Amino acid sequence: VEFLYCDLASMKSIRQFVQQFRAKNCPLHVLVNNAGVMLVPERKTEDGFEEHFGLNYLGHFLLTNLLLDTLKQSGTHSDNARIITVSSATHYVGKLHLNDLQSRCSYSPHGAYAQSKLALVLFTYRLQHLLTANGSHVTANVVDPGVVNTELYKHVFWVVKVVKWMTAWLFFKTPEEGASTTIYAAVSPEVEGAGGCYLYNEERTKSADVAYDEELQKRLWTESCKMVGISDEASRLP
């Protein structure tokens, strides 16, 4: 096991990480996009992005795109490289505001968090479409880990913290249980070659209807490329 530092809230850090990783000339068979914040007060990343959108979504968008060539070189017909992105059931109530992705007009911690998680699902579906169109031996799936007892809830209202403390043993998954579907998506032969899936409790599940809107997927992808400063070659594909 080797550790390389990467701050998903910093575009500079992400680019430095990718440069360091590429210098090792290692294959990349599995990429798990799992960083995130939840219900944080209104604040920005060092690049000026609203933190939920910048860290939860744009950081992973840039990281994945910068590593795509390595993933494509590492996958084979019988053993695809895999991209697993961790979203949340919160995406079901999320709304994507393409004209205000930074939540500048009206900030709501819940709304910003839900939007970032919906964006991850839209991104995964669009990414899989592009990978298929290019004949790449890489699959992209999105995972809902469920309600897991972690420190992610440190910004919730104190009453919720008390309820969580009292009931976590009954209603919340342990971190190990919460990781099970991500691990399943990363290594199980049952999903070999299968991409564009929304997985919950190690089963394929239907995501929010809006997540299947291909035009919305394309528009988010194009706007995301502009925001992180990468070429939108995908805009020329169907």
* 105 inside domain: yes
Does residue 174 lie within any of the structural domains? yes
Q: Catalytic site residues?
A: 113
> 162 falls in which pLDDT band (50, 70, 90)?
very low
- The mean pLDDT value for 175-198 works out to 89
3-state SS, the chain, equals CCCCCCCCCCHHHHHHHHHHHHHCCCCCCEEEECCCCCCCCCCECCCCCEHHHHHHHHHHHHHHHHHHHHHHHHCCCCCCEEEEEECCHHHHHCCCCCCCCCCCCCCCHHHHHHHHHHHHHHHHHHHHHHHHHCCCCEEEEEEECCCECCHHHCCCCHHHHHHHHHHHHHHCECHHHHHHHHHHHHHCHHHCCCCCCEEECCEEECCCHHHHCHHHHHHHHHHHHHHHCCCCHHHHCC
> What pLDDT score does 171 carry?
56
Whether residue 1 lies inside any domain: the answer is no
Number of independent structural domains in the chain: 1
214, pLDDT greater than 80: yes
26 within a domain of the structure (yes/no): yes
Residue 177: is its pLDDT beyond 90? no
Antiparallel, parallel or unpaired: β 30-33 and 81-86: parallel
**pLDDT > 70: percent of the chain:** 84
Does residue 44 belong to any structural domain of this protein? yes
pLDDT attached to residue 180: 81
157 vs 48, which has greater pLDDT? 48
At 40, is the pLDDT very low, low, confident or very high (cuts 50, 70, 90)?
A: confident
Looking at the domain assignment, is residue 158 inside a domain?
Answer: yes
Asked if residue 55 is part of any domain, the answer here is yes
Mean pLDDT score, 27-40: 91
Residue 170 in domain: yes
Query: Which tens digits make up the pLDDT trace of 100-143?
Result: 998 888 899 889 999 999 999 999 999 999 999 999 999 999 99
Instruction: Write the CATH number for 36.
Output: 3.40.50.720
Q: Domain residues for 174?
A: 11-235
